[in-house]
Amino acid sequence: MYKKRLVDLRNEHNLKQYEVANILNIAPTTYSNYENEYETMPIKHLNHLCTYFNISLDYLFNFTNLKKSKRLNNQINNKESGERLRNFRKANNLTQKELAEYLNVDQTTISKYEKGIEIISTNYLYTICVKYKISADYLLGKD
């Protein structure tokens, strides 16, 4: 998902894993697990790194080779993200139930995402973006 880009960015900036962990205020072993994709990095940490390295999430996910869009926001807006997810779902003629089944979650989870109560998880965001060829930055309200 993002392993190669994380390693490349860290090396490009001459940083060690423990230094990136300090940037994120997490344990070095946690960052190592994220970088090696033994654990999925939460959106909040991915966004923090995108802001730090001045790159887009789409670049980090390897959806594009452009590092950053000119219109990119540093903050994720849960409410706008939820509205965009709902609009995307409706534009693709999907019910909450159908999207939930596709992602293998319950419908309540999709509802919470769409209401902006929770931010979509990294894995679900990535899965939607790959299947429907949509920007992660757009869905999160960053673009």
CATH of the domain at 22: 1.10.260.40
Tell me: do 55 and 94 sit in the same domain.
Answer: no
SS3 15: coil
pLDDT at 89: 94
Q: What is the pLDDT of residue 19?
A: 97
Tokens encoding 129: 């973006």
Counting the structural domains of the chain, the total is 2
82 & 56 share domain: no
Residue 67: the pLDDT is: 86
| pLDDT value of position 95 | 96
Residues 6+ apart with CB under 8 A from 102: 94, 127, 131
Token pair recorded at residue 12: 């490009």
> What's residue 1's pLDDT?
85
Mean local confidence (pLDDT), 29-58? 94
Residues 84 and 47 in one domain: no
Residues 33 and 84 in one domain: no
Domain assignment present for residue 68? The answer is no
- Banded pLDDT at 122 (limits 50, 70, 90): very high
Q: Which of 13, 32, 60 is the last residue of a domain?
A: 60
Distance of CA 9 to the CA centre of its chain: 16
The answer to whether residue 66 is domain-embedded is no
Q: How many CB atoms lie within 10 A of CB 13?
A: 11
Q: Is residue 72 domain-resident? A: no
Same domain, 85 and 119: yes
Average pLDDT, the chain: 93
Tell me the mean pLDDT in the region 8-35.
Answer: 96
Residue 69 domain-assigned (yes or no): no
Range of the domain at 41: 3-60
| The pLDDT of residue 74 | 83
Same domain for 86 and 135, yes or no, is yes
Is 70 within the bounds of a domain? no
pLDDT in tens, 62-111: 999 988 766 677 888 899 999 999 999 999 999 999 999 999 999 999 99
Angstrom distance (rounded) from CA 26 to CA 47: 14
Per-residue pLDDT at 114? 96
Q: Is residue 34 part of a domain?
A: yes
> Does residue 17 sit within a domain?
yes
- The single residue listed with the structure tokens 């899965």 is 127
